[in-house]
Amino acid sequence: MKKQEQENVAPRPISRSDVAAYFGKPESGFRDRLFVIIFEAETRAGRRFDFSLIAAILLSVVVVMLDSVSGINYRYGGILNALEWFFTVAFTIEYIARLWCVKHPLRYARSFFGIVDLLAILPTYAAFFIPELHALVDLRLLRLLRMFRLLKLTAYVEEYSVLGSAIMASRRKILIFLSVVAIVVILNGTLLYVIEGGPHSPFSSIPTSVYFAITAVTTVGFGDITPQTDLGRAITSVTMLVGWSILAVPTGIITSEMTAQRFAMKRPPNTRTCPVCLTTGLEENARFCRNCGAKLPLFARD
């Protein structure tokens, strides 16, 4: 059967025992208990820790967002600043605890979530020197990707892998699609630059014209840059119609892939064969061959 290739495309869910094996779980003592709380979601303490972590991340992002609104900043700036330092210190302690309780701290520090954890605390410290970086504290949101890891352990495995493998299986088609879109958009932008460009035109350079072509193809259409000449409008009309129509292509790719995977998933290949008359495709729970009536050997499937 050639079906197996397809099934391998689905990303293997990372189980907690992998984490323990990779980062190194300490044998016993306080470090071990901390490891269980911080890294394992199956225990009650670990689950509680994960949920309070998610709540803290969401709260700290809300704090950063509110802090950027000038009216709120003016009134509650002090409290929000204090809150942000509280969260930063808490996340710093958590980061150090994570590094301390695994056997191979460098491995954790270099892993995806290790880097994200660091990015979540750096901006507040960096804002001492470059205040503009302050808002980057929102990179904390990436920590929420943990949430998926958490949820994946319960009920989201199947949904996640169908979506992921549909996109993975179509990646080449999507790449071709995006290459064609890129060529269309650059050529279109250049053409508009030649037609509309001028000293006082908003089509001041090719990159700007390409930016406009992207707003037209994706049907966004901000309207800050628009063609003024009849020829420019005619070309843009074609661009809009093309962009609007070819949206059907990625949708077709993903949808037909998902439909196919769903049907492949629902009907596993049935290869049970009668040893007497060699009829294939016998039902899983059959006890006698439907064609010759021979008694079938019992077998446990999978």
DSSP β-bridge partners for residue 135: none
| Residue 258 CB, nearest approach to a second copy (Å) | 4
| Residue 280 CB, nearest approach to a second copy (Å) | 5
**Which residue lies nearer to a second copy by CB, 114 or 243?**
243
**Residue 109 and residue 93: Cα distance in Å, rounded?**
14
Give, as one character, the DSSP assignment of residue 21.
Answer: I
| Residue 83 CB, nearest approach to a second copy (Å) | 15
Number of helices (H), then strands (E), in the chain? 13, 0
**Closest-CA residue to 209 (of 195, 219, 229, 199):** 195
- CB contact at 8 A, 195 and 229: yes
**Which residue lies nearer to a second copy by CB, 79 or 292?**
292
| Residue 87 CB, nearest approach to a second copy (Å) | 16
| Residue 28 CB, nearest approach to a second copy (Å) | 37
Overall residue count recorded for the chain in this entry: 302
**Residue 201 and residue 210: Cα distance in Å, rounded?**
14
**Residue 162 and residue 167: Cα distance in Å, rounded?**
9
Full DSSP string of 220-289: ----SS---SHHHHHHHHHHHHHHHHHTHHHHHHHHHHHHHHHHHHHS-----B-TTT--B---TT-SB-
**Which residue lies nearer to a second copy by CB, 9 or 147?**
147
| Residue 193 CB, nearest approach to a second copy (Å) | 5
**Which residue lies nearer to a second copy by CB, 100 or 244?**
244
**Which residue lies nearer to a second copy by CB, 58 or 99?**
58
**Residue 188 and residue 169: Cα distance in Å, rounded?**
30
**Which residue lies nearer to a second copy by CB, 99 or 136?**
136
Tokens read off for 19? 């984490």
**Which residue lies nearer to a second copy by CB, 23 or 87?**
87
Distance of CA 204 to the CA centre of its chain: 36
| Residue 177 CB, nearest approach to a second copy (Å) | 8
| Residue 45 CB, nearest approach to a second copy (Å) | 25
**Residue 71 and residue 226: Cα distance in Å, rounded?**
34
Give, as one character, the DSSP assignment of residue 40.
Answer: -
**Which residue lies nearer to a second copy by CB, 110 or 233?**
233
